[in-house]
Structure 1
Amino acid sequence: MNAVATGRVSLVTWYALFALISMAANLGSQKLTWLVYDGPFSITLAVCIGTGVGLVVKYALDKVWIFRYEHRSIAHGVETFSRYVAMGLATTAIFWAMEFGAQALFHTEHARLAGGALGLVLGYLAKYQLDKRFVFA
């Protein structure tokens, strides 16, 4: 394997690991939220909190370890994070559609979390390309 191919394998491995860490943070914070609050709109609240936690974890890991990106100023950092969030809107739609779709079909927490995990995997596949082209370019 040449150096370029080795670098790609390493990048894919790290990206996948960081996606798994982010997914665990997302789904784990959903579970914690749902354990703490089981009232009206508890699933929606849990999914929103999980999405936010996962987003911040993934941004920090991607910025430092995948793209090795440094902000020039606080304003540039805010702009970069804003672009990251904007690129995440489409991928979040994939994730939420899978998670809420599984909930609507099967009406169980396990199915909802499995749908969420599948949606996150599909979303991260698209998100890498978007981030590479539009956020950390």
Structure 2
Amino acid sequence: MTRLSLPTLVLRYAGFALLAMAANLGTQRAVLAFGDPEQLLLPAIALGTLIGLAVKYTLDKRWIFHDRGTTPLPRQFALYSLMGLATTALFWGTETAFWLLWHSDAARELGAALGLTVGYVVKYRLDRRFVFAVAMTGEDSNETPREGQEQAA
């Protein structure tokens, strides 16, 4: 399988992160439209996170790590989700801090976007090492080299 160049990988991963962020924040807006943001903030964040996670997993599995399904989906998705716990805490903490500081939807969404951006960088490294490592070590492995490996010319 042809390896992606680093710029192509970064653009693809960032694009998928943006799609997942849009799904996440769109879901939050939809939930928050049903009533008082003070009461619905936690459910909105939780449901938005779940939707964003499902979108990102689906795109990463196929287009970043080129995993063709050798690991049973529930187990792999659980591991993928587990790798996201720390990054989700970072995202939620940043989003909540911005809300508490400025009490505005724009600030909350800015905090969410910042937290998600940093979280996705960390998450890629965790997923590459722990979730999709099997797919990356096979003949038809990931298009990106693992740390310490050189990229084919």
Could you tell me the TM-score, scaled by structure 1's length? 0.90
Match in the other structure for 1:95:
91
Greater Cα radius of gyration, structure 1 or 2: 2
4+ residue segments displaced more than 3 Å: none
Match in the other structure for 2:45:
47
Q: Which of 36, 56, 62 matches 2:60?
A: 62
Q: Which of 66, 73, 79 matches 2:75?
A: 79
Shift of 1:39: 6.7
Match in the other structure for 1:23:
21
Distance in 2 (alpha carbons) for counterparts of 1:36 and 1:111: 20
Matched to 2:104, the amino acid is: T
Size of the aligned set, in residue pairs, is 132
Matched to 2:64, the amino acid is: I
Percent of pairs with identical residues = 46
Report Cα offsets for 1:13-63 as digits up to 9, x if no partner: 100000000001001110011012437630111101100000000000000
> Matches of residues 101-120 of structure 1 in structure 2 within 5 Å?
101-120=97-116
Structure 1: gaps spanning 5 or more residues:
none
2:128 matches 1:132 = yes
Report Cα offsets for 1:70-119 as digits up to 9, x if no partner: 2236xx21111010000000000000010000011111111111101100
Matched to 1:24, the amino acid is: A
Could you tell me the TM-score, scaled by structure 2's length? 0.81
What secondary structure, in the 3-state scheme, does the structure 2 residue paired with 1:120 have?
helix
Structure 2: gaps spanning 5 or more residues:
134-153
Distance in 1 (alpha carbons) for counterparts of 2:23 and 2:38: 23
Alpha-carbon distance change, 110 to 39 in structure 1, aligned in 2, over 3 angstroms: closer
Match in the other structure for 1:33:
31
From the two aligned structures, give the one with the greater helix fraction.
Answer: 1
- C-alpha RMSD of the superposition: 1.6
